[in-house]
Structure 1
Amino acid sequence: MSKSKPQGIYEFPLTETTAKKIINELAENYTSRIIWSRHVKERMVERGVTTGQILTLLKSKRSVFREGPYEEPNGDWKFNLKGMAAGKVIELTIALKNHHDDPKSILVTVWVD
């Protein structure tokens, strides 16, 4: 695997296991391929969530799927991950783009339970 680009996974429909593997890999080795939407940045400030907490959730093998993954009309796969980071239970909505050949993700929103 080249370090300049993560390896894609050909799978349809996208399973939780594969989605988590891709997200873990992006968070560990390709953070530049994680896009932080303006909305998620605003919610992070509003809800007291740090970048470190988000990355911890994305890297965690213990985070769980609360919804999805399901395919959007535009071909992205959307899902919610929930987990613990720095003493807070955080849930994050993620859109995974081009999982088959050029994976990247968009962080859509975040909230704290």
Structure 2
Amino acid sequence: MDEHYEKNYLQGSVVFPLSEFAARKILNDLAENHTSRIRWSRHIKERMLERGVTTRQILTLLKSKRSVFREGPYLELNGDWKCNIKGMAAGSILELSVAIKNPADNPTSILITVWVH
């Protein structure tokens, strides 16, 4: 049994697999209360500049309870949970690719990329 799976399964601290509901709750909380635990990849910074997307729009999407999961959350080999969420922010429809690290204990997120639809 995978060590990460076993730890979470046996302790029951996070539902395995990570549900959309739990992922949304984590992302909402990080954007509302713990922005210092959101890491911005170099790639997303470049795409934001290229596509005219603001930090405020990204945080609005992360805080939204109406955004839609387009993909995931699914467990990657490195133990991160990856998902793509899509929603409206400041009049634009955005899709954001995010990795959630340590969902059961002191979660953080890494913003990977963003698209404008």
Higher helix proportion: 2
1:107 aligns with 2:117: no
Quick one: which of 24, 30, 34 aligns to 1:30?
34
Measured on the aligned residues, the alpha-carbon RMSD in Å equals 0.7
The Cα of 1:102 is off from its aligned counterpart by 1.5
Q: Which has the higher contact order (CA 8 A, sep 6+)?
A: 1
| Distance in 2 between residues matched to 1:19 and 1:10, nearest whole Å | 11
1:65 aligns with 2:69: yes
1:49 aligns to what SS in structure 2?
Answer: coil
Q: What percent identity do the matched residue pairs reach?
A: 71
- Matched residue count: 105
Larger Rg, first or second structure (1 or 2): 2
| Distance in 2 between residues matched to 1:63 and 1:37, nearest whole Å | 21
| Distance in 2 between residues matched to 1:108 and 1:21, nearest whole Å | 19
The Cα of 1:10 is off from its aligned counterpart by 1.5
- Taking structure 1 as the reference length, the TM-score comes to 0.91
- Taking structure 2 as the reference length, the TM-score comes to 0.88
